[in-house]
Amino acid sequence: MSSRLSVLTLATLAVAPMAPAPAHAQAVPAVIGAGVGLLGGGVATISLVVGRARWESEYIGGVEDLMGLNGAPVVIGIATGAAIGFWDGDRLRRSVLGGVGGMALGIGTGWVAGTIFGDRRADNWAGAVIGAGMGLAAGALVGALWPLDEDPASLGEPAAALGGRPRGIRVGFQVPVR
């Protein structure tokens, strides 16, 4: 294991001087993304721990229990947040907004599901915590992957006046009339 780590460290150090230093405009959103990813990963970890305690009766006895699967959302959140922030600040913003909205929806949905389907007194708040993590992950993913047309003219006149940033999302459908 240590030889793999040594090889990986040497390879990273050998390639690092070839990569251009990020501009200040890229570094700041990357740090913000890492911080937001840490917070989101923490929420997802708490959700995972509560879910495992509820359904698998596996509890946290110490910090060492957070290593592995339980702590993976924090590591994934930091890495993903930093990468999205580095490459696309707008996508980071949409991911954060989607994550917050998804978390709010997940809290409400989880609370209701825990109240209806639970048989213990704590099932309503456990459902809210689990729903928060699931909603956060789903909302952040949708926000990060949601396409945004870069051409302001294609978004219509009001959006073009805002610099290509629409104020909302319009969902439409057609009903065939015979």
Q: Is residue 175 part of a domain?
A: no
Q: Is residue 17 part of a domain?
A: no
Q: Is residue 131 part of a domain?
A: yes
Q: Is residue 1 part of a domain?
A: no
Q: Is residue 53 part of a domain?
A: yes
| pTM (2 d.p.) | 0.65
Q: Is residue 151 part of a domain?
A: yes
Bin 57: left if φ > 0, else alpha if -120 < ψ < 50, else beta.
left
More confident residue, 64 or 32: 32
Residues in contact with 136: Cβ distance below 8 Å, sequence separation at least 6, in sequence order: 40, 43, 44, 47, 99, 100, 102, 103, 106
Which band of pLDDT confidence, cut at 50, 70 and 90, is reported for residue 21? very low
What are the pLDDT digits (tens) for 152-168?
Answer: 554 455 544 555 554 45
32 and 92 Cβ atoms separated by less than 8 Å: yes
In the chain, the amino acid numbered 16 is A
Q: Is residue 2 part of a domain?
A: no
Report the number of distinct structural domains present in the chain: 1
